[in-house]
Structure formats: structure tokens, C-alpha cells
Amino acid sequence: MKFPIVRDGLGVHPLPFYFKNAVEKFSPYVALKRKEADTWREVTYEELGLHTKRLARYLKEQGVEAGDKVALVSPNTFEWVYAFFAIQWVGGVAIPVDTRLKGTEIRHIIKHSETRYLIIASNKYEEIQEHLEDIDLKIIELDNIIQKIALLEPVETPYYRDLEDTACLFYTSGTTGSSKGVMLTHKNIASNLDAFYKCFDYGPGDVFYLLIPLSHSFGITVSLLAPISSGSTIAFATSFKSKRIIEELRESRANIMLIVPIFLEKILLAIHRNVKKSALPKKLIFNSMRGLGKIGGRKVREKVFKGIRDKIGFGRMKYLISGGAKLPLWVAHGLEELGFPIMQGYGLTETSPVVSVNPKGLEKNASVGIPLPGIEVKIMDPGEDGVGEIAVKGPNVMKGYYKNEEATKEVITEDGWFLTGDMGYIDEDGYIYITGRKKSVIVTKGGKNIYPEEVEAALLRSHFIEEVLVLGGRNPTTGDEEVQAIIYPNFTALDDYFTERGISNPKTSDIYRVIGEEIERYSRDIADYKRVKRFFIRDEEFPKTTSGKIKRYLFVEGTR
């Protein structure tokens, strides 16, 4: 099955083309908005164009020329957007950097990428300045930049680089510990943008709620370029707190949201917590509505649970696309049951980033969907169960890793297939299923492959387990490899559990007992050889990458 096409594409062009076209075509429409105090500050496409072109003039005056690398370190702000498009307007190469990185990490990126210019938020510069003092670097602080450039003559004509030239250089935050510079060309990003546009219906009047960092490729392609190229509006989130997000979703009238699974999980759990605390009549009504929804299907679910979705700001939502990590199946099913238009997708920085998404109305959210138009996916060396490494081919596949030809050759075959490192299979309808990471697989003595992510997903259904890492470890008696887990419990849920049972001072053994029972309970539907044989409890969250994934490599030897 091929992805259903809903309209003609935008075509594949250098990135400034889309910006120029949008500014001219949608000039009076609102491009950006953000809540400040009690009002929403808005920027039209005309104003967006003017600020960007003036900033482009400022960059040229600072010496930025076509091909120069310009690092951009700032949280999601209007000024970040002006800076990104100004870099592209003058033909530069943008290096978006996550603000959560430490000074030493940012220093490494700047040194390795040979960056000559750094656009940065003032408070972040103060934080990392000591790490940059010996680097020949032109610093441009973003704070009050609009006032600084107010009298400058706009650069009216963009510098169009070749489609094969690098547009962005992203440094990955891998779970294996290595960070590489991913070179994405204008063609890579533009082809992904074009394919996404063909598959989803959005444009003037639609509002994208921006929650994910623009410093990630997912943020730039889908949360910035997609809305700007189509005349949509971007509403900036000002907080990660649920209460503020709900308030802003309602007020902004957002109807499209790109989101990571952890937020969806929190939304679903919050809904069920509220139901649990409700009086008996409300619980009975909720359960009867669930039953009605199961019988009546999607349309009925959308209608009967509209009140709940309205209350938390999701009532207008047209597309709710989950990406960045695997969406737990229980979360997907729970949201579908309540009528949320949830669609799981799949992508990597190296693929610009979107590879596949579940089509609306044809979702199989146990999968990561169908490849977008122009993208091929195949399974390399599949086993008897059809599982093998997922490989991707298409115009969206990166140019390579910057100054790392050896690493590039390891992941891109001679005939152009990018080896993702993800294991999975494709069903008879063309939907892709991910079973785990190739480097994480546990091989039993009997030759069975165990994908830790599958076991983790099963255990995370327990509300007593906040985070879990499943690894291969040695049995201390036999020395054989076995399935082991490190668990960070939900201590709030445990406190409630013990309080309800009159246990005011629970022992470590009590916590191990409860977690052990949960592991046994939620392992019943997975094969015996995949089940956790030994587990350990940690009292703090796992260290994570900037994209929120556990740094697995730090623990590989921890249980052996």
C-alpha cells in the first residue's frame, strides 16, 4: 500500500524559495504567535519577511558569506526563526544547537564543524562563554536583535544555493554515546517537506502548536518549514507544564501538533487519574461511553469524548503526530479510544527526518506507518520471522557525516541504502514495525533474539514503573546471559499505594516486592525467554540525550 496523496506537492527547491514564496503570498496572515503575560503577540508573514531580511543584512555586515557555517543556540523564540531564515537567505549553513547541551559539548560542535559565527541567546552565552574564549568566533547575541537591525536596509534577493549544497548540519545525541555531524542538503530537507505536504492537508487558518525544540531536524522540517511554507500559523509553547499547555492550546485554537510520546503518556494518565477521583456516577458514565465507542467505531468515539478533548485543549485537533521515540501501544490505544487523532510516525536526523507516518483514517498505531512518497524502505537480511535491519532510500537521505567518511560508509551502502540501526519488519499492507535497536539486541544461549524495547514497552504499562532499561546481564551463579532490568519507579504512585495500606515507612524490600509483582503481571503476554529474570532499582531518573532517550551505553556493562 502506498501513502494516500491528498494534493500536489510544493516542488523541491532551495530553502529560501519556500520562505520567499510564503512572505509574498501570505503577507497579511499571522505567521507566528506567542503568549506574553495575558495577550498573544503576533507576527505577520510580512513582518517575518522584513525582520529576516534585515537580519540577513546584519549577517552580511558581520562577514557571513555563502557557505559559511553559523551555529544557532537559543530556545524556541521568534528571533530563532528570524535567524534561521536569515542564515538560509544569505546562503549560509545553519547549525542548530540544543540549549540543553553543556558548554563542553557546544565547544566540541563549534570546533568540529569549523563554525565561524555563533548566534546565541545572551543568558546561554554567559553560561558557556569560558568554553569559547580561545576560539576565533564572531558572537551575535539574539537579545534585542530587532532593535539593533531596525534601521538596516533589507536584503531583498536571497542567495539560492545548489540543491546538493548543505543547508543544515545537525549534531546527533545518540544513545550509543557518539555524536556525529549530519549534513542535510537543501534537496534532502526540501524533498521531505514536499512529501509531507502531499500527504497532509494544512495551510492558512491552521495553527501548529510548537512544543518540540527547533534545534532538532523534526522541529525544523515539520514544525517550522511545513507551517511557514503553507501559510499556516505557529503558536509557540511557553512552558512544558500541563496546565499552561492546555490553556495555550485552547486560546491559540491549535489544530495540529507534533509531539513526543512522553507528553501523550502524561495526558492519558492525567485523564484516567481524574476519572478515578470522580464520583461513582461519573465513572459509570465514562465507562459506558468507552463501551459505546468500542461498538460504534472511530466516528462515535470522536463524538462521545469530544467534551473531554475540549476540556484539555485538544477538541479542534486535526493531526496529532507522535515522533522522536516509539509510542507505547497502550498509550496509542488509550488515546484512540478517546477519539484523539493520533498518528505515529518514524524518522531519523539522517533522513531529514520523516520516513513514515500512519495515514489518517488508516492508522495501525502498533506500527510507525507507511513510507512517505518518494521514500523506499526495505528489511535487510530478514530472519524467519521477517525481522531485519530497516534500510531507507530516497532523496531525503543525508549527504553524510561531516568529516567522517568512515562512519558514512558504515551506514550508507554503495547503492544508496541508509542502514538505520533499527530492527523491524513490514506487514502485508506496507506498514513498518520496529522491534528494537540492532546494537541493543540480547541473544540467548539458545540463539533467540530479544529486543529490549519490546520488554520495556510491556513493563511501562505499570503505573508503578516510571522508567526502565532492559539489558543483557550475567547470572551471578551460572555466568549465562539473562534478561535483566534497571527500574526507576514512580515513587508518587508507590507512596499512594503504601499509604492506602497503612504502611507509613516502607522498606526497600517492600518496594522490590511491589515492582517484582508488577514485572510478573505485565510479562504474562510475552514469551518466557524474553521475561526479566533479575532487576535492580535506582532512585533517580536515567541520564538522557537531548531528545529524551535514555543513554543506554552508560549501562551496558552495569548489569554484567
Query: Per residue in 486-534, pLDDT tens?
Result: 999 999 899 999 999 999 899 999 999 999 999 999 999 888 889 999 9
What pLDDT, in 10s, does the model give residues 264-293?
888 888 888 888 778 877 777 777 777 776
Whether the pLDDT of residue 177 is over 70: the answer is no
Q: Look over the chain and give the mean of its residue pLDDT values, rounded to a whole number.
A: 92
| 50 and 109 housed in the same domain | yes
Q: How confident is the model at residue 329 (pLDDT cuts 50, 70, 90)?
A: confident
Q: Which of 131-140, 245-254, 440-449 has the lowest mean pLDDT?
A: 440-449
Query: Is 370 domain-assigned?
Result: yes
What pLDDT, in 10s, does the model give residues 51-79?
999 999 999 999 999 999 999 999 999 99
Q: Residue 56: in which H helix or E strand, if any?
A: helix 45-61
| 410 and 448 housed in the same domain | no
Q: For the residues 170-186, what does the mean pLDDT come to? A: 79
Query: Is 214 domain-assigned?
Result: no
Number of neighbouring beta carbons within 10 Å of residue 261: 18
Would the CA dihedral through 329, 334, 336, 340 be positive or negative? negative
Task: Say what the pLDDT of residue 370 is.
Answer: 98
Comparing 170 with 325, the larger pLDDT belongs to 170
| 35 and 151 housed in the same domain | yes
| 51 and 171 housed in the same domain | yes
CATH code of the domain containing 100: 3.40.50.980
| 280 and 387 housed in the same domain | yes
CATH code of the domain containing 376: 3.40.50.12780
Give the single-character DSSP code of 550: B
Residue 138 domain boundaries: 15-185
CA distance 112 to 95: 12
For a pLDDT cut of 70, what percent of the chain falls above it?
A: 97
Task: Say what the pLDDT of residue 286 is.
Answer: 79
Task: Say what the pLDDT of residue 559 is.
Answer: 46
Task: Say what the pLDDT of residue 527 is.
Answer: 83
Total tally of structural domains belonging to the chain: 3
Domain boundary residue among 438, 462, 491? 438
| 404 and 462 housed in the same domain | no
| 426 and 461 housed in the same domain | no
Query: Is 368 domain-assigned?
Result: yes
In 367-417, beta strands by DSSP E: 370-371, 376-380, 388-393, 400-401
Whether the pLDDT of residue 241 is over 90: the answer is no
Domain boundary residue among 165, 185, 205? 185
| 353 and 468 housed in the same domain | no
| 277 and 425 housed in the same domain | yes
The pTM of this model reads 0.86
Query: Is 237 domain-assigned?
Result: no
Q: Which residue in the block uniquely carries the three cell numbers 540543553?
A: 100
Choose among 145, 129, 12, 126: nearest CA to 77.
145
CA distance 365 to 117: 43
Task: Say what the pLDDT of residue 558 is.
Answer: 45
| 33 and 149 housed in the same domain | yes
| 405 and 537 housed in the same domain | no
Choose among 230, 213, 198: nearest CA to 31.
230
Q: Which residue in the block uniquely carries the three cell numbers 549544497?
A: 165
CA distance 26 to 231: 6
Query: Is 388 domain-assigned?
Result: yes
CATH code of the domain containing 506: 3.30.300.30
Query: Is 5 domain-assigned?
Result: no
Query: Is 246 domain-assigned?
Result: no
Helices (H), 338-436: 405-411
For a pLDDT cut of 90, what percent of the chain falls above it?
A: 73
Q: How confident is the model at residue 176 (pLDDT cuts 50, 70, 90)?
A: very low
What pLDDT, in 10s, does the model give residues 373-425?
999 999 999 998 999 999 999 999 999 999 999 999 999 999 999 999 999 99
CA distance 308 to 481: 47
CA distance 280 to 289: 14
Domain boundary residue among 144, 168, 185? 185
For 502-518, the DSSP string reads T-SS--HHHHHHHHHHH
Would the CA dihedral through 379, 382, 385, 387 be positive or negative? negative
Q: Give every CB contact of residue 281 below 8 A, 6+ residues apart in sequence.
A: none
| 451 and 535 housed in the same domain | yes
What pLDDT, in 10s, does the model give residues 430-474?
999 998 888 888 877 666 778 888 899 899 989 899 999 999 888
